Every structure is written in structure tokens, then in C-alpha cells.
Amino acid sequence: MPSSQKPSGSSATSTPATSDTFRVPDVVTVPLRHRGRWAGYAVIVLLLGALAHSLITNERFGWDVVFTYLFSETILNGLWMTLFLTVVAMVIGLAIGILLASMRVSHSRIFRGVAGVYIWFFRGTPILVQLVFWYNLAYLYPELSIAIPGGPTLWSANVNDVITPLSAAILGLGLNEGAYLSEIVRAGILAVPRGQSEAAASLGMTRTESFRQIVLPQAMRVIVPPTGNETIGMLKMTSMVSVIALADLMYSAQTIYARNFQTIPLLICVSIWYLFLTSLLSWGQGHLERYFGRGSTSMPAATERVFALRLPRRSDAAATTTTAGSREDQA
């Protein structure tokens, strides 16, 4: 035991240490040492060093080729196509998803069944097959027309003119995504307690008002994280459209390395772009999660934690100020 009777705050009433062995005078606590941790850090540094060394010295990575093409016109055009496809397919997917989800929670057995079959079909077949199918729609239906049965034809079109690689890609990706998003939206709606819509109804809100004002904002808390995941997945899934010769980021790289055989450098080039875009999306997702998480005590959001690994102090401070800020906004 360390020798007692240092001048401390409890001087007047303090008893000698000998008479009360449970009272310990002020001591300095030595934090527990984590020796294993330092060994782990050393291994990590070693491995990272080896990786960096090989990245720099191995000429086959072809960094000069990577940076020649990173901002080339072909790659940038492909990048725009990838972004466009991601946004359009997600918007269509979300619209279909909300529609299917409301059908799935409907009281009508027919609506529930139809939505169920849609989801079963589009989740159950590979996206690659769906894309090729849409692209070859003209084989099944050479002509599309709207006509009054037994009457005149109001509108008709050659399917080969309507189904371009772009429209086939949008249809394929959008309809497929709708099936996945509907399950996410449904889970979000079911996560809102029944009492919430009862309270809204008791205030005289119609079902639509209740859904928009009360249910959906709360469901968003559950919907946003997996939808962010889906968006990131979609960004990469658009690369599938290269099979129907649509010039997205991936296909653009393929056309280049088909000519110059610099396969690896060009794949690195597109990976850099994909990584850049997915990072942007995760950052945006974090903001959305904080917005829809207002009023809830169980934060921080998943992406916030990813960034917190890198910048613990800054992101913590940012998190507290944003929540405090949004609270005042509501007042």
C-alpha cells in the first residue's frame, strides 16, 4: 500500500489508513498497457509498406497509362453514362418500389399477390439475363401498338426503334431495382408502430396525409441506409450494361483496352472512378441518415462511423453540432 496522509481534500475527517483499509488516499492510476496492439500496428505498417513499394516499383501497374486515360474523353463520357444510368434506374426503382410496397401492405389479396409475383420474378432471375432479354424484346414483339380492340390503331412503333441499348439498360436496371427497393420500403413502413397512424387518424388526417406526414418520414430512417447500399450497388451494377454494348464507364474502358491491350491499367483507371463515386455516395448517405434520424436517440449512422475511424475528433464534433443545430431548426 502506498504511504498515506498526502494533503488531500478530505483532511479534516480523514482517518489513518491503518484503521480503514478500504479508504485509499489519492493515487495515480497507471492505464492498462496494450502490448498486443503495438505488435499488430507493426505488422500493419510492414504490410502497407510492402504494398506501397510494389505499387511504385512494379511497372506492370502502368500508372502512366492509368493517368493518361483517367481524364480522357472516352472515359469521362463513360463516367457520365454510368452516373446517368445510376440516377435514372434508382428513380424508376424507387417509384416502382414505393408502389409495390404499398401493394404489399394493402388489404387486397390480389394487390399483395401481384406485387409478390413481380418481386419473385425480378429477384429470381439474373440481371444479365434481364438486360439481354429487354435488348432482344423485338424478337418476341416486333411491333408495339395501342389499339381499341376491333377498332382503329391509335399508336404503333417498331420495337427495334424503341429499344436502344440505353432504353433496354434503363428498363432492365430500373425494373430489377424496383423489386429490391420494394422490400426495403415495406420494411420501413412496417417498422413504424401502428399507434402512429392511429394518432394521425385521430387528428383527422386522411390516409394519404398520414402516410406523407407521419409514416414515411419515420420509415425513411429505416429505408435510407439500405437504399444507400443499393445505390452504391447500382453504380457498380451498371457495368453489366457492357453486354448490350452501351458505352458506360466499364464498356468505354473495354473499347480502349481492346485496342491497346493495356487491360490492367484501364481497369485500375475505372476502379479509381468507381471508388471516388462510391465515397461521394457514402458521404451523402451519412447526411441523409442524420437528417431522418432527428428526434431519435440511437445515432450515429453507419457511414459516420466509417469516417470516425479516420477523423475521430472532427467527425464527433460535427455530429454533435449538426444534431443540436437541427433541433433548433425545428423550434
Partner 1 sequence: MTATHDRHAVHIRDVAASYGPTRVLDGVSLDVPAGTVTVLLGPSGSGKSTLLRTINRLVPVEHGTIWLGDELIGHRRMTDGRFHELTDRELCRQRRHIGMVFQDFNLFPHMTALENVVRAQVVVAKKSRSAAVERGRELLARVGLEDKAAAYPAQLSGGQQQRVAIARALAMDPSLVLFDEPTSALDPELVGEVLTVMRDLADEGETTMIVVTHEIGFARDVADQVVFMEAGRIVAAGSVDEILGSGASERVQAFVAGGAR
Residues 234 and 61: beta-carbon distance below 8 Å = no
Beta carbon nearer to partner 1, 279 or 296: 296
Which residues would be at the binding site for partner 1 (CB under 8 A)? 193, 195-196, 198-207, 209, 213-214, 217-218, 221, 292, 294-297, 327-328, 330-331
For the purposes of burial, counting CB atoms within 10 Å of the CB of 83, is it exposed (0-12), middle (13-18) or buried (19 or more)? middle
User: Which residues lie closer than 8 Å to 114 by C-beta, 6 or more apart?
Assistant: 103
* Shortest separation between residue 321's beta carbon and partner 1, angstroms: 16
Q: Which long-range contacts (CB under 8 A, 24 or more apart) does 39-42 make?
A: none
* Shortest separation between residue 330's beta carbon and partner 1, angstroms: 4
* Shortest separation between residue 206's beta carbon and partner 1, angstroms: 5
Q: Which long-range contacts (CB under 8 A, 24 or more apart) does 232-235 make?
A: 232/278, 232/281, 232/282, 234/86, 234/89, 234/90, 234/93, 234/173, 234/177, 235/82, 235/86, 235/274, 235/277, 235/278, 235/281
Beta carbon nearer to partner 1, 29 or 297: 297
Beta carbon nearer to partner 1, 163 or 214: 214
Helix (H, G, I), strand (E, B), or coil: what is residue 146?
strand
* Shortest separation between residue 204's beta carbon and partner 1, angstroms: 3
Number of continuous H segments (helices) and E segments (strands) in the chain: 15, 2
Distance CA 17, CA 19 (A): 5
Q: Parallel, antiparallel, or unpaired for β 153-158 and 143-147?
A: antiparallel
* Shortest separation between residue 296's beta carbon and partner 1, angstroms: 7
* Shortest separation between residue 191's beta carbon and partner 1, angstroms: 12
Distance CA 165, CA 171 (A): 10
Beta carbon nearer to partner 1, 32 or 331: 331
Q: Where are the alpha helices (DSSP H) in 105-164?
A: 109-124, 127-135, 137-140, 159-162
Distance CA 174, CA 230 (A): 12
Beta carbon nearer to partner 1, 180 or 211: 211
Beta carbon nearer to partner 1, 6 or 327: 327
* Shortest separation between residue 90's beta carbon and partner 1, angstroms: 24
